[in-house]
């Protein structure tokens, strides 16, 4: 049975600040239960998990610990399911609209064994609440045209989806107000 065929397992979904301890658990999950391409940009001479990607992963989460008002203008959290790290989600300031309202975007990944259980949907709802608290009126996300699971998740949150001219990227916009 694939993870998406598994019944929804009720668990309390929480967003955890990424401390060094949480970062260790998040990296362990990424290395054992996620493809490197799902979690990091392509880096290094060899495909898959390599030292460049592992270093990027650590550096990214440490920098994002400073939060939306930090130098990177973003915050990442570990997604916890019943006290177990299941993946990561982020919120990033992308600028300010002419109206003065902040623009924000999100992205998330889950370990394979946590997919298809409603955890991503609950984590996205929590990040939408944080985004509303920033004053943002729209939360944006991007995914590949082939990632139908991510598109379904975004639609379930009320997103309007648009495919780019090349047909390879999908942009989702979730109205927060």
Across the chain, which has 177 residues, the per-10-residue mean pLDDT values are 51 96 98 96 95 97 93 94 97 79 90 96 97 92 95 95 96 93
Q: Which of 125, 140, 147 is nearest to 171 (CA)?
A: 140
Q: What's the pLDDT score for residue 72?
A: 86
Q: What's the pLDDT score for residue 9?
A: 57
Beta-strand (E) ranges in 7-163?
13-17, 74-81, 84-96, 102-110, 138-144, 160-163
Q: What's the pLDDT score for residue 102?
A: 74
Alpha-carbon distance of 59 to 97, in angstroms, equals 29
Q: What's the pLDDT score for residue 77?
A: 98
């Amino acid at each position: 049975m694939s993870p998406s065929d598994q019944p929804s397992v009720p668990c309390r979904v929480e967003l955890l600040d990424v401390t060094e301890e949480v970062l260790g658990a998040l990296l362990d999950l990424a290395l054992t239960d996620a493809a490197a391409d799902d979690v990091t940009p392509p880096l290094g001479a060899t495909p898959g998990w390599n030292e460049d990607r592992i270093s990027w992963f650590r550096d990214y989460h440490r920098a994002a610990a400073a939060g939306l008002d930090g130098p990177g203008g973003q915050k990442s959290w570990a997604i916890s399911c019943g006290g177990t790290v299941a993946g990561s989600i982020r919120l990033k300031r992308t600028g300010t609209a002419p109206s003065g309202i902040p623009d924000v975007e999100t992205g998330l990944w889950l370990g394979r064994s946590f997919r298809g259980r409603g955890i991503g949907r609950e984590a996205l709802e929590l990040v939408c609440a944080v985004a509303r608290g920033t004053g943002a009126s729209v939360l944006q996300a991007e995914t590949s045209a082939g990632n139908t699971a991510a598109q379904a998740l975004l639609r379930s949150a009320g997103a309007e989806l648009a495919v780019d001219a090349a047909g390879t990227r999908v942009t989702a916009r979730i109205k927060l107000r």
